[in-house]
């Protein structure tokens, strides 16, 4: 069984989170050399009977899809994490379960992240979209750009909006979900749901009984029933970090948590690296805009979180997008992944230099990191002004926001 990458997804609700803000975050742990890109797609209308080509399979398109922004491994269609124009955020985790994930190509968990964002205007709507598509198409296929071995996993999701969060955990086509509206919630690379289940596949329990995993007499505990026999269930390190905070949780608290290597939230191991991170702020007051901070680069402790706000006219950011290889992409041709093209975008290449300088731990590296954090701080302070302002947001002022931040960062590195 392949080792599931140790990503971490977190959400904190008021009053644990400060100023009436829901704060969401994810570190995406992936193979060390994988590139993630930040992509924006505007809302769109689609022709009747049209199809959408996901990573491995095509499915029926819906009449209209929402505007989305997402961070994704550059070779696939879906996303590791992202948000839509309605303030819905979704992140997923690869997990292992008692039932091995199928290698047969179907929808990836990451495809379902994007489909949930494109089709759900609330967290619950997005959950309903994901489980319906899971039932119809199943999940399966290689999670990595690897011709030598198929790494397939089951999936868990953290689905959040301004009012509530849903933890959705899936095993094949079966699933269970828990709703939360308070405190801190975390998912990592293990099943976590226990006896509090607010929605589930109608045949979940009978399936567990048919496999001999549950007698039907004991209380039904999802993670005990479906986790691999040799797995020791651990509490998420990120949740531990946030719960130890004596003060209210802010954007900065979440960023600091995602940067924490000592706790294991930020991964930098032989096999895996935190290849991208996101923090989103969802004000419970619907008159304030949601703000999404993406790195688009590896290792949040050596990256800048850059803000994005949905408005009508967003300026695209090609410098944070990987080269497109069209139908010649080795990920689209069968047999897949026979070559590995250079998917580095301009921001990634500029950041490679910065990471090398900081890793050298010399005076130049220390000064560079200090300046990077100062750039980030300026962005956070400007966004805080937007959140606390009583004036309506001027769309013309923020349509270029993420573009300008990426451009500034690249110029700074050069």
Between the CA atoms of 22, 404, 118 and 176, what dihedral angle is there, to the nearest 10 degrees?
-40
Find where tokens 């709507």 sit.
Answer: 125
Statement: residue 252 has pLDDT above 70: yes
Statement: residue 368 has pLDDT above 80: yes
The pLDDT-based confidence of 109 (bands split at 50, 70, 90) is very high
Per-residue pLDDT reduced to its tens digit, 319-349 = 999 999 999 999 999 999 999 999 999 999 9
How confident is the model at residue 243, as a pLDDT?
Answer: 81
The pLDDT-based confidence of 279 (bands split at 50, 70, 90) is very high
The alpha-carbon radius of gyration of the chain (Å, integer) is: 20
How confident is the model at residue 242, as a pLDDT?
Answer: 84
Q: Are 105 and 114 in contact (CB under 8 A)?
A: no
Q: Is 266 labeled as catalytic in the residue annotation?
A: no
Statement: residue 232 has pLDDT above 70: no
Catalytic residue among 9, 236, 266, 290: 9
Q: What is the 3-state secondary structure (H, E, C) of 210-245?
A: HCCCCCCCCCCCHHHHHCCCCCCCCCCHHHHHHHHC
The pLDDT-based confidence of 295 (bands split at 50, 70, 90) is very high
Pairing of strands 272-283, 36-41: unpaired
Least confident stretch, 10-14, 144-148, 390-394: 390-394
Q: How far apart are CA 377 and CA 373, in angstroms?
A: 6
Average pLDDT over residues 78-89: 98
How confident is the model at residue 235, as a pLDDT?
Answer: 58
How confident is the model at residue 359, as a pLDDT?
Answer: 87
The chain-wide mean pLDDT, for the chain, equals 95
């Amino acid at each position: 069984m392949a080792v599931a990458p140790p990503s971490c997804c977190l959400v904190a609700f008021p009053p644990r989170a400060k100023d009436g803000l829901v704060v969401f975050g994810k570190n995406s742990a992936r193979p060390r050399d994988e590139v993630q890109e930040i992509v924006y797609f505007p809302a769109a209308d689609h022709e009747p009977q049209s199809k959408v080509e996901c990573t491995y399979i095509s499915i029926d398109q819906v009449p209209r899809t929402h505007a989305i922004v997402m961070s994704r491994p550059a070779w696939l269609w879906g996303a590791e994490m992202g948000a839509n124009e309605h303030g819905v955020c979704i992140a997923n985790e690869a997990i292992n379960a008692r039932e091995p994930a199928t290698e047969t190509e179907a929808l990836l968990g990451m495809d379902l992240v994007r489909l949930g964002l494109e089709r759900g205007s609330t967290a619950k709507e997005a959950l309903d979209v994901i489980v319906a598509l899971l039932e119809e198409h199943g999940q399966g296929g290689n999670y990595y750009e690897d011709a030598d071995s198929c790494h397939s996993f089951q999936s868990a999701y953290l689905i959040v909006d301004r009012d509530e969060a849903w933890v959705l955990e899936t095993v094949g086509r079966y699933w269970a979900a828990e709703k939360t509206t308070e405190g801190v919630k975390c998912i990592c690379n293990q099943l976590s749901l226990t006896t509090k289940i607010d929605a589930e596949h109608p045949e979940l329990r009978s399936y567990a009984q048919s496999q001999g995993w549950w007698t039907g007499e004991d209380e039904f505990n999802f993670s005990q029933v479906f986790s691999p026999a040799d797995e020791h269930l651990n509490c998420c390190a990120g949740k531990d970090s946030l719960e130890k905070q004596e003060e209210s949780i802010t954007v900065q608290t979440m960023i600091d948590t995602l940067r924490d290597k000592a706790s294991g939230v930020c991964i930098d191991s032989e096999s895996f690296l935190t290849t991208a991170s996101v923090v989103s702020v969802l004000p419970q007051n619907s008159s304030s805009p949601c703000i999404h901070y993406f790195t688009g680069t590896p290792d949040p402790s050596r990256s800048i979180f850059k803000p994005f706000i949905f408005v009508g006219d967003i300026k695209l950011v090609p410098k944070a997008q990987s080269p497109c290889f069209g139908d010649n992409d080795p990920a689209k041709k069968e047999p897949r992944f026979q070559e590995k093209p250079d998917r580095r975008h301009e921001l990634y290449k500029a950041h490679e230099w910065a990471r090398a300088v900081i890793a050298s731990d010399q005076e130049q590296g220390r000064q560079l990191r200090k300046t990077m954090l100062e750039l980030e701080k300026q962005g956070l302070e400007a966004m805080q002004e937007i959140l606390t302002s009583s004036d309506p947001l001027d769309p013309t002022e923020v349509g270029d926001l993420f573009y300008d931040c990426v451009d500034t960062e690249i110029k700074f590195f050069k």
